[in-house]
Structure 1
């Protein structure tokens, strides 16, 4: 559902920064410091606190910069709800996103504002990012797939996850964001890519092939559970787009990606010992997947065998 967008008035900041947080006081301090260190100063920072404990709240109450606003929200555990609450308060021409455990380099806002002002046909922008470990040390990316910048109409690249976009690197025209409906609060995982698909369908994108955001990699806690939730989110996302993307080719891409995600999700359930969930996932995914991806039935059969062997091994 599209959000109401008020007109931009004289005196409003050029950039509204949306930062959701929940109980990450150490990382949060670093994130806020990276905003305060921006060379571009015409911004407002809206911190949406998702019901944090007193340590985080004490820190937030102590921020004295007049450009910083804190929204005190009841805890939901859903970042999209916090982000949308902050977006509704935003007054800037552009909206930028920063998660509370990530950082920006000092020139991030300046570079993106210049890029968007210099590309009037583009309603949004993203950049390359650097990766760090939870302790702040750089991540060795020698074994990673090379990052490739994709600009213009990137709808298909986003659907195929060929365009790797971190939410911390995104800046978007506020009117465009409101027009496409902001974050889908029912999409609990993959909500960022859900937004990118809608933005890409509506506007070309300007990319900056330079790491202007710094993303903190996962610490490995609850990794298996997170992967299950993530692939359940991908199935949900592709299921949604397979039905109403604007052309046949894009719908075919969504159906193929959905079929592949169903197989991965079933495999993850089987490895976690959730055999019934694995079989239920395959059964539910069969009708659409067979049409979208002919080899699917053979690969699905392999997952059924894997799930069955897992049951026998645990019983043995």
Structure 2
């Protein structure tokens, strides 16, 4: 959150650029900021614990508008953005990721739009390029009914549209500082679609005027290590749906959003919905409404019955409650691999808050819903302290855990069957 009392420099634009091990691309992003035709800005680069030569690349730019802030421990892009918001001194706030570039007139155009229409938030178009340089998509899509022409955006229509899915990319906005003074920053527990959740909170009250410029002033370049390739978006979709369920119900959008989540996560080859998506929906959506979505989408209903068992079967829940009693007394970890990572979505909420670590060698340096991810070898240092819930690849993990001094049933269990 930006503090109201903090000194603000009139006319200044604060550009917030989070980075983590992006030495190979950050230079182009910085150059696009320095090339802006509107020059009254500060570029706040927040280095989220980079281990490469990012600092050296930044130091090559001799420009006193650059503010470089680095810290040692990687805490995620949302944390870095929030640090940038705390440091910002500008009257206007913009965000520029390291795999994006602004065209030279981005800032001037955005500020002109705010002034011309008396708006608080200005948006433009963004073009996404794949690693080969081909145009992948544009945001917002050209057929989107809210974004057909230059001018003010219908706020009720925007609120309803954003409840469905995101149409605002972090890199295309210019926001008056006052819009951020009354709201929390980016949700640091989310690793995907954090811009959606952030801007959803901003537009739902319908108190800030939003103006749209159809000119594409931002280019985004997909990287092999982009978050979009690493993290599943299901957790964020479920989080948003559950948090604002009364609004979905008031706008008659509950069935539509069930359809969207199931459709986006379904197995197209097998014609089935994903098990964890259904189990997640059943936490707060009645069975018959989820079933109606399965019927509308013409999917195999078998997974729905299994997901219902996961959520309500007394044997399965009894097992989790038994684990909960252990987790309240001992530090507990979930041990999982890449192929089974998505199954975390079906672990009961009442247990997650007692999980100290998620052990997964495939996702180093990140977290899941605020729970730190650590490597398998780190269990050796915690052999006496940790109770381990194994999901997937049990026989192999059993052998390794026993070699580390863990005892089956006493110190670790196989919970895969409780989920699916």
TM-score, length basis structure 2: 0.61
**Among 121, 127, 131, which residue is 2:128 paired with?**
131
Given that 1:133 and 1:216 are in contact with CA atoms closer than 8 Å, whether structure 2 keeps it comes out as yes
Does structure 1 retain, via aligned residues, the 8 Å contact 2:163–2:200?
yes
Q: What corresponds to 2:107 in structure 1?
A: 109
Give, in whole Å, the separation in 1 of the partners of 2:228 and 2:37. 37
Cα distance, 1:285 vs. partner?
Answer: 1.9
After TM superposition, give the deviation of residue 256 of structure 1 in Å.
3.4
Deviations 1:240-286 (A, max 9, x none): 1214x4x8534x42x33542355247635998xxx9x9445423423
Distance in 2 separating the partners of 1:60 and 1:71:
11
Distance in 2 (CA, whole Å) between partners of 1:99 and 1:7 is: 25
Q: Residue 291 of structure 1: CA displacement?
A: 6.3
Match for 2:216 among 207, 211, 217?
211
Partner of 1:172: 175
Q: Deviations over 1:123-142 (max 9, x none)?
A: 2111011222335x241659
Which of the pair is proportionally richer in strand?
A: 2
CA distance in 1, matches of 2:22, 2:225: 16
For residues 219 and 130 of structure 2, the distance between their equivalents in structure 1, rounded to whole angstroms, comes to 10
Equivalent position to 1:160, from 164, 170, 184: 164
CA contact (8 A) 1:31 1:100 kept: yes
CA separation of 1:221 and 1:12: change in aligned 2, threshold 3 A: closer
Q: What is the Cα deviation at residue 54 of structure 1?
A: 4.0
- One of 77, 80, 91 as aligned partner of 1:79: 77
Q: Deviation of residue 83 (structure 1)?
A: 0.2
Considering only aligned residues, what root-mean-square deviation do their CA atoms show, in Å?
3.4
TM-aligned CA distance change 1:303 to 1:292, over 3 Å = closer
Please give the alpha-carbon distance, in whole angstroms, between the structure 2 residues aligned to 1:8 and 1:69. Answer: 17
- For residues 130-172 of structure 1, the C-alpha deviation after alignment (integer angstroms, 9 at most, x for no partner) is 222335x241659x953531613111122223x6222110111
The count of corresponding residues between Structure 1 and Structure 2 is: 292
Q: Which residue of 2 aligns with 1:63?
A: 61
Higher RCO (C-alpha under 8 Å, 6+ residues apart): 1
2:90 counterpart SS class: coil
Q: Secondary structure at the match of 1:25?
A: coil
Looking at structure 2, the residues matched to 189 and 140 of structure 1 have their Cα atoms a distance apart, in angstroms, of 19
* Equivalent residues of 2:7, 2:89 under 8 A apart: yes
**In structure 2, C-alpha distance between the alignment counterparts of 1:39 and 1:99, rounded to whole Å:** 19
In 1: Cα distance, 2:229 partner to 2:33 partner = 33
- The answer to whether the Cα contact below 8 Å between 1:94 and 1:172 also exists between their aligned partners in 2 is yes
Q: Distance in 1 between matches of 2:194 and 2:175?
A: 16
Indicate how the Cα distance of structure 1 residues 182 and 256 shifts in structure 2: closer, same or farther if over 3 A, else same.
Answer: farther
Post-superposition CA distance 1:37-82 (Å, at most 9, x none) = 0000010000010111241121123332111101112333521110
Q: Secondary structure of the equivalent of 1:207? A: strand
Query: How far apart, CA to CA, are the structure 2 residues paired with 1:56 and 1:220?
Result: 15
Judging changes above 3 Å, is the alpha-carbon distance between structure 1 residues 110 and 266 closer, same or farther for their aligned structure 2 residues?
closer
The aligned counterpart of 1:189 is 192
Query: Which protein is richer in helix relative to its size?
Result: 1
Q: Give the distance between the partners of 1:71 and 1:262, measured in 2 at CA.
A: 38
Q: Distance in 2 between matches of 1:220 and 1:269?
A: 25
Q: 1:95 to 1:147 in 2, by over 3 A?
A: farther
Q: Per the alignment, do residues 304 and 128 of structure 1 end up closer, same or farther by CA in structure 2, a change over 3 Å counting?
A: same
Contact 2:281/2:290 (CA < 8 Å) preserved in 1? no
Q: What's the counterpart of residue 26 of structure 1?
A: 24
Deviating more after overlay: 183-192 vs 41-50? 183-192
Question: Which one has a bigger Cα radius of gyration?
Answer: 2
* Among 117, 129, 148, the residue aligned to 1:119: 117
Q: What is the TM-score of this pair, normalised by structure 1?
A: 0.79
Instruction: Decide which moves more: 179-188 or 97-106.
Output: 179-188
**CA offset at residue 288 of structure 1?**
0.8
In structure 2, stretches of 5+ residues that fail to align are 307-420
